[in-house]
Structure 1
Amino acid sequence: MRIGYRTIKTAIGTPISISVAQLLGVTNFVSAGILTILCIQPSRKRSVLSAWHRFLACVIASLFSIIFFELIGYHPVAVGIMLLLFIPVTVFLKVTPGIATSSVIILNLYGQEGISQSFLIDQFLLIIVGIGTGLLVNLYMPSLDKQLKQKQSDLERNFQAILHEFALYIRDKNENWDGKELTKCEELLQEAMDLVSLDKENHLLRTEHPYHDYFVMRNKQFECLQKMLPLVTKLPETDAISVKIADFFDKLSGVVHPGNTAILYLDELEKLRDTFDEEELPETYEAFITRANLFRLLHEMEDYLLLKEKFKQSDVPARKRIKKRPG
C-alpha cells in the first residue's frame, strides 16, 4: 500500500494546527485540525484558492451567525433558516468549497449560545491557524519532472512499436499484432496531460510548461497514426513502392525521440512521392487500390512529420539538409 503526499501532509499538518491553536488558548482547538484537513489540496494553486474560498466563507458564516442566532435565537430552526440563505450566497460568490469549513465555525458559534467579541476573535484565530497551517504545509509539492520524463519515454517506445508494426504489415501482411500500443498511447497521453496540468498549478508564476507543447504535439501525431491504421490494413497487394514505404516506417520507428530531425525524413518522403511518377501505372483493381492507399499514407506521414518539424527548432544543421522545404 502506497502512502501519498496528501496523506503525509495531512498527518503532519493536523497535529501542528491543533497544537498551535491549543497554545494560543483557542476554544474548540480541535476544530483547527478539521480546518487543516479540509484545506489540503493536490496543487499549490488549488491550495491558495481553497484557502481564500474557505476564509471568505468563514467570515460570511460568522456574520450570518451573528444576525440569525441573535435575532431568531440559538435553536436548530435558526441553523436551518440560515443555511437556506447562506449556501446560495456562497454559490453566488463562487466560494462553495468553503461551505464545509464554515460549517465548523457556524456550529462552534451555535454551541456557544451567545456571541461575544472575544469569542469572535477566538474563532478568527481558529480560522487563521487551521487554514493557514493547511496552506503552509501544502506549499511543498514534489517535482513531477521524473514522472513526466517517464511518460515521455513510454510514449516514444509505443510510437516506435506502432511504426514498426505498420512496416511489418505493409511488407509481410503480419497479422499477429494485437494493437495494445494504440490503447497504451491513449492512456499515456491522458495521464501525461493530467500531470502537466497539475505541475502547472504547482508553479503559480510560470505561464508556460516545458512538457505541455510536447505532449500536445504527440497527441496530434497519434491522431495521424490512427488515420494511418485503416490505410495500412487496406493494402491488397505488396509492390515495389510498398516495400520502400515499409522500410521508411522501419527507419522512422528507430528515430522517435524528443529531438527534431524531421526535416531529413520529410526530404526522404518527398523522394518516395517522386517514385509514384517513376513507376508504371497499376494494371489491376487491387494494384490501383494499393497505390491509392499508399499515396494517402504518405500524406498522413507528411502531416505526422510536419507536426514534429513545427514543434521546435530543428536539430539538423542546415548544411545537412537535402533541400529546404517551404514554410
Structure 2
Amino acid sequence: MGIRVIKTAIAAIVAIYVAHYFNLEPALSAGILAILGVEVTRKQGLTKTASRFVASVLGLGFASIIFVTLGFYHWTVAIFILVSFPIMARFQLKEGIVTSCVTVFHIYSYGEVTTGIIWNEVCLLLVGLGSATIINMLYMPNVERELMKLREAVESNYYQICYTLAKTLREPTYVWSGEELLDAHRDIEKGITIAIRSKENQLWSNEGYWLTYFEMRRQQLDTIGQMMEMVARVHGQLKHAEPVAELLEQLGRDTQSDVYVGEVRVKLQELAEKFRAMELPKTRDEFEIRASLLMLMHEMNRYLDIAKRYKKRGNTDQSLLEKSNLTG
C-alpha cells in the first residue's frame, strides 16, 4: 500500500504539471484522473485505463447530446446518469463511470458545448490517465523474495506436519495443536494472492511458476487434512504403524528436497504388498487400525500424485518447477 501511495502522488503531480504546461483547464482535474488511474498491477493499469478512456469519451458524447438538446439543468444530469451508466455497464466499462463523470461535470460547469471544450476534456483524460499508466509501467515492487519466504515457510510447516503425524502414529495419545496446518493455509493463500499479482505484472511473459507452486500446495493441504483424519482413527499401538510412520518422516524430508525422486511412492507400494501378505486381523480394533493405515497410505500416494501432476504441466512451468524445488 505504501508503494501505491507514492506512485499515486507522483502520477498526480506529473499530470498537474503537464496539464499546466499545455494550458489545460482545470489542471487539477488531470491530477484527479491520475489518482483514479493508478492500479496494483501493470495489466490492470493498461486494461482499466483503456476502459476509463473509452467510457469517458462515450460519456462526453452522451452528455453533449443531452445538454445541447435539453439544456443545462440539474435534472439533465440525472438523465445523463440514467442513460449512460447502464450502457457503460452493459459494455463492461464500469471502471470508467467515475472518470466519465469528472469530464461531464466539467462540461456542465461551462454551460456550453464547443469543440474546444471537448478537446480540452479529451486532453485532460490523456494527460491524467496517461501519467498514471506510465508510472504503473515504470515500477512495480519485486515480490520474488517474499514468495521465496512463503515457500520456505510452507515447506517447513509441511515437514513439521509429517513428523507430527508420524509421532502420533507411534504415540496415539499425543496431542497436537494443529498450529502448523493453520500457518500453512494462511501462507498458501497469501502466496496465491501475491503470485496472481506478480503474474499480472509480467506483460510479455507467460511464466506462472509461483501460481502453479502454491496451487499445488493448496491441493496437497486437502490431502494432509485427510491424512490427519486417518491418523486420528489409529487409536491404539500396532506394529504395522511403524513403517508408515517412517514413510511419513521421509515424505516430510522430501518436501524440502531439490528434486522429485518418487522413492516414497515405491516404498508405499512395497509396504502395501506386505500388508496384503499378512494374516487377516484377529480383532475389530486391529482391523480398524489397519484399514486406517491403508487409507493413510492412499492419501500419501494422492499427495505425491499432485506433485507429480503439477511437475509435468507445460514445458515452461516444467523447467521452472525442476529448477525451483517443486518436489513431494
Report the more deviating stretch, 80-89 or 303-312.
Answer: 303-312
Of residues 83, 86, 90, the one that matches 1:85 is: 83
Name the aligned partner's letter for residue 110 of structure 1: Y
Q: Which letter does structure 2 place at the counterpart of 1:163? A: C
Indicate if the aligned counterparts of 2:250 and 2:264 stay in contact, CA closer than 8 A.
Answer: no
1:104 to 95, 102, 119: 102
The alignment partner of 1:98 has SS state of helix
User: For residue 211 of structure 1, what is the aligned residue in structure 2?
Assistant: 210
Q: Is the 8 A contact 1:158 1:181 kept in 2?
A: yes
Judge conservation of contact 1:148–1:211 (CA < 8 Å) in 2.
yes
CA–CA distance in structure 2, aligned partners of residues 261 and 209 of structure 1: 19
Give the equivalent residue in structure 1 for 2:163. Answer: 164
- Aligned to 2:61, which of 60, 63, 75? 63
The one-letter amino acid paired with 1:145 is: E
Does the alignment pair 1:40 with 2:38?
A: yes
**2: CA distance between counterparts of 1:255 and 1:263?**
9
Q: How far apart in 1 are the matches of 2:89 and 2:309?
A: 44
1:12 to 7, 10, 13: 10
Q: Offset of 1:190 from its aligned partner? A: 1.4
Residues in 2 aligned to 1:285 and 1:197: alpha-carbon distance in whole angstroms = 50
State the distance in 1 between where 2:295 and 2:117 align.
Answer: 76
Asked whether the equivalents of residues 282 and 288 of structure 1 are also in contact (C-alpha less than 8 Å), the reply is yes
Which range moves more in the overlay, 238-247 or 174-183?
A: 174-183
Deviation at 1:223, TM superposition (A): 1.2
Please name the residue that 1:179 is paired with: 178
Q: Give per-residue Cα distances to partners, 1:130-180, cap 9 Å, x unaligned.
A: 010011111121122112111111111111111111011000124331111
Find the counterpart in structure 2 of residue 151 from structure 1.
Answer: 150
Partner residue in 2 for 1:95: 93
Q: Given the alignment, which residue of 27, 30, 43 partners 1:29?
A: 27
In the alignment of these two chains, the number of paired residues is 313
1:249 aligns with 2:248: yes
Pair 1:113 & 2:111 matched: yes
Report the Cα distance in structure 1 between the residues aligned to 2:65 and 2:257, rounded to whole angstroms: 62
Q: Residue 259 of structure 1 aligns with which residue?
A: 258
Q: Tell me which moved more, 305-314 or 171-180.
A: 305-314
In the alignment, the residues of structure 2 paired with residue 65 and residue 178 of structure 1 have an alpha-carbon distance, to the nearest angstrom, of 63
Deviation digits for residues 219-261 of structure 1 (CA, Å, limit 9, x no counterpart): 2211111111111011122222101111221222222126333
User: Cα distance, 1:279 vs. partner?
Assistant: 3.4
1:25-44 Cα deviation digits (max 9, x unpaired): 11111000000000111111
> How far did 1:129 drift?
0.3
2:159–2:256: 8 Å Cα contact kept in structure 1? no
Tell me the CA shift for residue 278 of structure 1: 4.2
Q: Partner of 1:268: helix, strand, or coil?
A: helix
In structure 1, what is the Cα distance between the partners aligned to 2:260 and 2:64?
A: 68
Which ranges in structure 1 are unaligned for 5 or more consecutive residues?
A: 316-327
Kindly state the Cα deviation for residue 100 of structure 1 after the two structures are TM-superposed.
0.6
Letter in 2 for 1:108: H
Q: Distance in 2 between matches of 1:55 and 1:311?
A: 40
1:168–1:174 contact (8 Å) kept in structure 2 = no
Give distance in 1, aligned partners of 2:103 and 2:64: 12
Aligned partners of 1:82, 1:216: CA distance in 2, in Å?
Answer: 45
**Structure 1 partner of 2:237:** 238
Contact between 1:236 and 1:287, CA under 8 Å: does it hold in 2? no
Separation in 2, partners of 1:258, 1:200 = 26
- CA distance 1:66–1:277, shift in 2 (3 Å): closer
Q: CA RMSD in A?
A: 1.8
CA contact 2:41–2:197 (8 Å) conserved in 1: yes
Does the 8 A contact of 1:16 with 1:133 survive in 2? yes
2:285 equivalent in structure 1: 286
Q: Find the counterpart in structure 2 of residue 275 from structure 1.
A: 274
Structure 2: how far apart are the matches of 1:6 and 1:129? Answer: 19
Rounded Cα–Cα distance in structure 1 between residues aligned with 2:309 and 2:261: 9
Q: What's the TM-score, normalizing by structure 2?
A: 0.91
2:201 maps to 1:202: yes
Aligned counterpart, 1:225 = 224
Q: How does 1:288-307 map to 2 (within 5 A)?
A: 288-307=287-306
1:260, 1:309 within 8 Å by CA — same for their partners in 2?
no
Q: What's the TM-score, normalizing by structure 1?
A: 0.91
User: What's the CA shift string for 1:75-121, capped at 9, x where partnerless?
Assistant: 11111111110111111111011111111101111111112212221
